[in-house]
Amino acid sequence: MIKLSQMKDQEIRRGMTLAGPHRDDITFYINGNEAQTYGSQGQQRTTALSLKLAEIELINEEIGEYPILLLDDVLSELDPYRQTQLIETFQSKVQTFITATGIESINESRLQNASIFHVHEGQVQR
């Protein structure tokens, strides 16, 4: 708390916060190697999604309900197996909005309870 109050004038001059938990970096490892440096795009995305899924479970434990999950273009860097695993993880328990450029690689049986909307030339179609 002392550091935050000491930096107040500097933060006001710069127009941004200079300290706090949102400024911290988290490093994840896969088999002893930094995921950010050595992981594939799919592994990096899976690591970030794992953290997000753990976060929504923590929120559920704390307040007794799941938050709405928003995932923007999350499927593009995942192979079909990981796409299916992701969908199965939150299906039927977390209201989720996913944006994607296509859903051709997703197992259609996993989308039976989903509402799918297509946007073409600015028009939304169901």
* pLDDT of 11: 87
The residue type at 43: Q
Domain membership flag for residue 1: no
Element (H, E) at 90: helix 80-90
* pLDDT of 32: 93
* pLDDT of 1: 59
* pLDDT of 9: 86
Domain membership flag for residue 11: no
* pLDDT of 102: 82
* pLDDT of 68: 93
Domain membership flag for residue 42: no
* pLDDT of 42: 80
pTM for the predicted model, two decimal places:
0.68
Domain membership flag for residue 16: no
Domain membership flag for residue 92: yes
List the chain residues with pLDDT less than 50: none
Domain membership flag for residue 85: yes
Instruction: Using alpha carbons, list the distances in angstroms from residue 22 to 19, 77, 104.
Output: 8, 26, 36
* pLDDT of 57: 93
* pLDDT of 2: 63
Let me know: does 24 contact 40? Beta carbons within 8 Å. no
Count of domains observed in the chain? 1
Structural domain range at position 105: 61-126
